[in-house]
Structure 1
Amino acid sequence: MNAVIERAGAADVAELRQLYYAVYGPHYPVARYTDPAQMAAFAASPDTLWLTARCGRTGALVGSAAIQGEPGSRLGRLEGLAVHPEHRASGLAGTLTEELCERTLGEGRLDSVYATVRTVSTGPQRVVSRHGFRPMGIMPNTVECGGRENLALYARYSAGVLQRRIPVPEVPAPLRPLLRTVERTLGLDYGTTRYTAPAPAPAPPAGSAALEVIEAPGFVRRRFTDRFPDSARWFYPLHTPNTLLLSEDGRIEVYACVSRAGSYGALVAGHPEPAEAAGWLEPVTRTLFRAGVGYLEALLPLARHDLLSAFLAQGYIPSALYPAMRPDGEGFQDYVVMSRTAEQIDFRALVVEEPLRPYLDAYASAWASTYLPSLEVVS
């Protein structure tokens, strides 16, 4: 198909809304692709590259995709990929993906770009795989989009980034299936990393473990900026917190990014320090699940054995690895996605390409070791 690729602008918002409705129906959970004001602001952001594809014959807007970044970060997220149902065999998804990557990774603006890819069919997986994205893991029950969907994590890098990973001396043993899978599928080496027993769970909070929940996006964002001006502690890129969980004495604060439409959340930061907030992880998880969040995740440094152990103790599963995610001096730190779902996992509708299948096996192994008891046979 002869398509015209242009940067999205405010004048495209009406047609873009029609496109996303045609592709996803009324259940798409991301407001910046459905709300006109947010769409216009997103298109105008200097940290966003949003491209549209128009039919060269009719001029109709038939495709859209974006890479979102943020100030001070060299990591981006490929998102919002949509091609009108009448043009799905035209190669537009691949054209948009490659153009976005060339304008960001290829020009040295970003170190890596990641994508969370739907698994209801193999089409989205094939699109990103054909354009240099490699699988990193699978996250069950991630989002409510007309039903619970399982997403897969893929990433693509600028030249030389993966070769500058900082070695990690030890990790909790339950991460072994995931790291071994990464070694086999990506060719990375964790041969010097030791697998040791998880550290004891942090002491639970003394006295009342009640939490106050503040859902005031503007207030939470301002307070978060005051607490974390350099985004250096327990930082989850591209997730702006909109929910604050506060202990009754005001000593512990946990910041989360919660999507009510998609029924998912990400734990972004803990104050005064992540290690102190980790003792509150069980009441934080329980509170958010009771509030209707069906899926929770946190992105933790692979080098933080203590934090990984705390999440493992509360039933979080190491579901994906993001090698060389964050720059640290001359090198890059690896990060782990730790996830937990409040709902039954159903893989019957899961459709995965062969490169992704080992991650499904690794997740199943980690889940079984966490939730299935070791049976002792007595004769």
Structure 2
Amino acid sequence: MTATIDPASPADIAELRQLYYAVYGPHYPSALGTDPDAMLRLIADPDTLWLVARCPDTGALTASAAIHGEPGGRVGRLEGLAVHPGHRAGGLASALTDELCRRTLGTGRLDSVYATVRTVSAGPQRVVARNGFRPLGLLANAVDLSARESLALYARHSAGVLDRRIPVAEVPAPLAPLLRAAERSLGIDYGRTRTTAPRPVPARPAAPADRLEMIEAPGFVRRRFRDRFPGAERWFYPLHLPNTLLVPDDDGFEVYAYLNRAGRYSSLVAAYPEPEAAAAWLEPITRALTRAGAGYVEALLPLARHDLLSTFLAQGFIPGALYPAMRPETDGDGRHDYVVMSRTAEQIDFRGVVADGPLQPYLDAYLSTWASTYLPPFEVAS
């Protein structure tokens, strides 16, 4: 029996919260399925398309998913995909995903849509793969639900977008396994990209009071952030509004982060005046977020920024995912590739990770880079 698919409305909020509780229990870390005010804002947001599926006989809400877009960057995020446990055999997840992509990618509103997918089983990976999404990498220890879980990053591009990628001359050598995995998975070519040694990390100048202040005032932080960054082109991470501000005693820079205490993760969104100003402070910035409860910290960096990638590598960040043709160049028709760099303060239990076939090269690449970063080289004594 074919379900009815319609846009979500404010009248659906109570039933949507019941749906997300039935699917995820009390640990779902997103406001999309738990916070009525945030849900109302998303339903009214012109850059968000939120669809729900209903039983044609009873009208009961059986599934939900949304795509939240960034018009300037022409990238969207598939989020909140949930199907009621009693209706999982009818293909509702695929139907909703396909309809969302048809109404966004198919109309030219967006150039790509990404999704983070659970790896506790192969099912969620296969759902998005059936709808044209391809794996981009692994986000190890990315979120805390009932336990710490790793997520897979998938994306679907509009026709011709990958052909507009801007070539990158060189990258730090530890990114080589990730590039090879992307070539195998996506059929793109990095054969002309050289791998060279990471560049020296800038030394942090000594200061009488070597401290960071962390300000958690979401309204203030967002207002100040919009004053500093009226456009999204200088953000580390699109589609993430910060709720936390980190500044040193001398006010030499400002780092904006999104801290999710429910999911115990954090994303670095932007740095003012430029990322270079905060580069030498990356270690204390990461420690401050970890102390605040983030067992996982990530940043999205341009593949062409050898200097920033080197800085993050030096502080134990692992390149886990590669998003090709993610964001447009400022002037022109080209698209820049980006890398997801992450660091976790907790032990990674890969025994719980199920990597469907296309995702396996990224798991192998992550393990290889993690081992070379955190394990000492073997020495043979004669």
TM-score tier by shorter-chain length is over 0.9
Q: Give the secondary-structure state (helix, strand or coil) at the position aligned to 1:254.
A: strand
Q: Which residue of 2 aligns with 1:141?
A: 141
Aligned residue among 308, 317, 341 for 1:338: 341
Residue 160 of structure 1 aligns to which amino acid in structure 2? G
Q: Which residue of 1 aligns with 2:73?
A: 73
Q: Which residue of 2 aligns with 1:245?
A: 246
Pairwise CA distance, 1:72: 2.5
Q: Give the secondary-structure state (helix, strand or coil) at the position aligned to 1:202.
A: coil
Structure 1: segments with no counterpart, 5+ residues: none
Aligned residue among 334, 354, 358 for 2:357: 354
Pairwise CA distance, 1:376: 2.1
**2:196 is equivalent to residue 193 of structure 1:** no
Instruction: Indicate conservation of the 8 Å contact 1:209/1:283, yes or no.
Output: no
Structure 2: segments with no counterpart, 5+ residues: none
Residue 376 of structure 2 aligns to which amino acid in structure 1? P
Q: Distance in 2 between matches of 1:272 and 1:153?
A: 30
Q: Distance in 1 between matches of 2:93 and 2:69?
A: 20
**2:317 is equivalent to residue 310 of structure 1:** no
Pairwise CA distance, 1:201: 1.3
Pairwise CA distance, 1:375: 2.2
Q: Distance in 2 between matches of 1:230 and 1:45?
A: 18
Once the two structures are superposed, the pairs formed by residues 143-158 of structure 1 within 5 Å of their partners are 143-158=143-158
Q: Distance in 2 between matches of 1:375 and 1:120?
A: 33
Q: Distance in 1 between matches of 2:227 and 2:205?
A: 25
**2:213 is equivalent to residue 212 of structure 1:** yes
Q: Which residue of 2 aligns with 1:23?
A: 23
Structure 1 range deviating more: 183-192 or 226-235: 226-235
**2:187 is equivalent to residue 184 of structure 1:** no
Pairwise CA distance, 1:232: 2.3
Instruction: Indicate conservation of the 8 Å contact 1:138/1:363, yes or no.
Output: yes
Q: Give the secondary-structure state (helix, strand or coil) at the position aligned to 2:380.
A: coil
Q: Distance in 1 between matches of 2:233 and 2:276?
A: 14
Residue 7 of structure 1 aligns to which amino acid in structure 2? P
Q: Distance in 1 between matches of 2:218 and 2:205?
A: 27
**2:7 is equivalent to residue 7 of structure 1:** yes
Residue 17 of structure 2 aligns to which amino acid in structure 1? R
Q: Which residue of 2 aligns with 1:49?
A: 49
Residue 288 of structure 1 aligns to which amino acid in structure 2? L
Pairwise CA distance, 1:69: 1.2
**2:365 is equivalent to residue 372 of structure 1:** no
Q: Which residue of 2 aligns with 1:59?
A: 59
Pairwise CA distance, 1:378: 2.2
Paired residue total:
379
Structure 1 range deviating more: 360-369 or 207-216: 207-216
Q: Give the secondary-structure state (helix, strand or coil) at the position aligned to 1:303.
A: coil
Structure 1 range deviating more: 65-74 or 244-253: 65-74
Pairwise CA distance, 1:304: 0.1
Pairwise CA distance, 1:291: 1.4
Residue 285 of structure 1 aligns to which amino acid in structure 2? T
Aligned-CA RMSD value: 0.9
**2:40 is equivalent to residue 40 of structure 1:** yes
Structure 1 range deviating more: 62-71 or 228-237: 228-237
Residue 296 of structure 2 aligns to which amino acid in structure 1? Y
TM-score by length of 1: 0.98
Residue 181 of structure 1 aligns to which amino acid in structure 2? A
Instruction: Indicate conservation of the 8 Å contact 2:172/2:197, yes or no.
Output: yes
Pairwise CA distance, 1:353: 0.7
Q: Give the secondary-structure state (helix, strand or coil) at the position aligned to 2:80.
A: strand
Pairwise CA distance, 1:71: 4.5
Q: Give the secondary-structure state (helix, strand or coil) at the position aligned to 1:352.
A: coil
Instruction: Indicate conservation of the 8 Å contact 2:73/2:232, yes or no.
Output: no
Offset from partner CA, 1:325-377 (integer Å, 9 cap, x none) = 00112100000000000000001111121110111000000001100111221
Residue 47 of structure 2 aligns to which amino acid in structure 1? D
Instruction: Indicate conservation of the 8 Å contact 1:298/1:339, yes or no.
Output: yes
Offset from partner CA, 1:115-163 (integer Å, 9 cap, x none) = 0000111111010000100000001110111110110000000110000
Q: Give the secondary-structure state (helix, strand or coil) at the position aligned to 1:225.
A: helix
Pairwise CA distance, 1:32: 2.4
Percent identity, please: 72
Q: Give the secondary-structure state (helix, strand or coil) at the position aligned to 2:351.
A: coil
